[in-house]
Structure 1
Amino acid sequence: MALLPLTALFDGDILELLIPVDDGDTVESVGHQIAHHVVGRRVARRDSPIRLRHNGTVLDPAATIGAAGVGPLDHVEAFYA
């Protein structure tokens, strides 16, 4: 698999992140990787699933991030569903 650097923002946060992920990671996994840097620090933890949005479309959590059409340095938004 290949390194896929993404820019990311978690809903409610103020900082844009640069997150290196693997293009074979699931969308759900990428959401958790983003949340690791934000939730419990600047955004309160919630008992809800984390979803990703790319170009206005919510991505399927079971899809791989590479197959979902996300490319290097694309912007994704993580949010609680």
Structure 2
Amino acid sequence: MAPLPLSAVFEGDFVGLLVAVDDQDSVAVVGQKIAHHVVGRRIPARAAPVGVRYDGRVLDPDRPIGEYGLGLLDHVEAFFDEQGVRR
């Protein structure tokens, strides 16, 4: 277990974030940590899971974020996955 600070944005928001995650956090947990700072504040809540994109691809929500080889301050994007489909 190691801390992994990431640069992040939530789709549709205008504020960039610095989010502290652990490299063993699942991608789903990382998405929720990003959403915590945005959803219900600047973006309305939705009944949809939160997905995470890195380098243009959607990450598997069940895998640990550390398995993707992200480094300190790499940039990820969280989004509402309305159809529950990995885009």
TM-score of the aligned structures, taking structure 1 as reference length: 0.97
Which amino acid in 2 is paired with 1:27? Answer: V
Runs of 4+ with >2 A deviation? none
- Alignment length, in residue pairs? 81
Give the gaps of 5 or more residues in structure 2. Answer: 82-87
Shift of 1:45: 0.1
- Does residue 18 of structure 1 match 2:11? no
- Residue number in structure 1 paired with 2:41: 41
Match of 1:75 in 2: 75
Structure 1 stretch displaced more, 63-72 or 44-53: 63-72
Letter in 2 for 1:70: L
Deviation at 1:72, TM superposition (A): 1.2
Aligned counterparts of 1:59 and 1:68: Cα–Cα separation in 2: 8
Which residue of the partner structure matches residue 84 of structure 2? none
Could you tell me which residue of structure 1 aligns to residue 85 of structure 2?
none
Letter of the 1:47 counterpart: A
Query: % of aligned pairs identical?
Result: 57
1:58 aligned residue: 58
